[in-house]
Amino acid sequence: MKKVALIMGGPGPEHEVSLATGRQMLENLSPDKYAVKPILIGKDGGWRFGESTKKVALPKALTRLQDFDVAVLALHGTFGEDGKVQALLEAIALLYTGSGVLASALAMDKVMAASVFRAHGLRVPESIVITNTDWQLRKSAPKAEWPVIVKPVSGGSSVGVAKVSSTAALVKAADAAFTWDDRVLIQKCIQGREFTCAILERGDDIVALPPTEIIPKSAELFDYASKYTVGASLEITPPKLSSKQIAKLQDLALTAHRVLGCRSYSRTDFMLDAKGFVVLETNTLPGLTETSLLPQAAAAAGLSFPQLLDTLIANALK
């Protein structure tokens, strides 16, 4: 029986989403196969093992982690999906689920990821980057063709993301986004349909799962509430696209996975406009909550949630 460290939480804004992913994983990891210990990284950066509320400092936490066979990462965003935890686990030679240090860091940085995508022929939205230092000095919004999307350069779960259609709204949105990151992306809003497609490695095979179309029911974009409120979005798997379009979408997701150097699994988000698909971003530790998209895609491919988790652990151990 494998000893599994199920790591969740984290100091970033996606702490609660991570806990939801962790709880879902805990409920679906077979007790016949795994001896699982939940490990919580608090917002204060302290580590807590099992049911204990005692905070453990990082050096001691890393020592205790060496008792496990594999770490299952239920982390998202800052300190979980950006390569930092991955680097710590590699330093103690503990195997872990998901992508490695470099791929995680690249995917989390939307500017760097877009540069890699563009270099490999993938379409990405036109955008500019502003730094917090420059913003505080000038406090003036760049000229834009409305609407635009404002988002932190590093982050996930649509935290700090806004769609705006005026200079005043842009200034307000940028101020809010700078609370999460020192760099903010102002991105051309792609008018069209939104899709996502997950990649899953199984043994020596790497497959694109059935894609999903995302239609928020009330919000203008697939924001935090639309993602994590049950029933807030219509999610259609597989989407109403031609077989040729679905194959193209899956091929683009596979390309994004490969050029970033991802491993085990990922999920890439797209917009579809009149010219074709546009890559928005790749998630290296996509959410696995009850409303998350990856489990839906896996189910559409005939893979149950416990089987999905078995696959992720097998990939890590391999």
Look up 154 and say whether it is catalytic: no
Within 10 angstroms of residue 144's Cβ, the number of other Cβ atoms is 18
Distance CA 195, CA 56 (A): 41
| Segments of 134-182 assigned E as strands | 148-152, 162-164
Conformation bin of residue 50: beta by default, left when phi > 0, alpha when psi is -120 to 50: left
Give dist(CA 174, CA 112) in Å, integer: 20
- The yes-or-no answer on residue 126 being catalytic is no
List the catalytic residue out of 99, 226, 264, 283.
Answer: 283
From the list 265, 287, 292, 315, the catalytic residue is: 287
Catalytically annotated residue among 10, 99, 281, 315: 281
- 283 given a catalytic annotation: yes
Q: Can 182 be counted among the known catalytic residues?
A: no
Assess whether 51 carries a catalytic annotation: no
Considering the candidates 9, 10, 12, 14, report the single residue annotated as catalytic: 14
Q: Encode burial over 34-62: b for 16+ CB neighbours within 10 A, e otherwise.
A: bebbbbbbeeeebbbbeeeeeebeeeebb
Q: Which of 228, 264, 292, 315 is catalytic?
A: 228
Whole-angstrom distance, CA of residue 288 vs CA of residue 169: 33
Q: Is 204 a catalytic residue?
A: no
Exactly one of 99, 104, 154, 157 is catalytic; name it: 157
**14 included as an active-site residue:** yes
Give the amino acid at 248.
K
Distance CA 178, CA 236 (A): 33
- Taking a C-beta distance cutoff of 8 angstroms, is the pair 210, 245 a contact? no
Q: In the annotation, is 118 catalytic? A: no
Catalytic residues: 14, 157, 228, 267, 269, 281, 283, 287
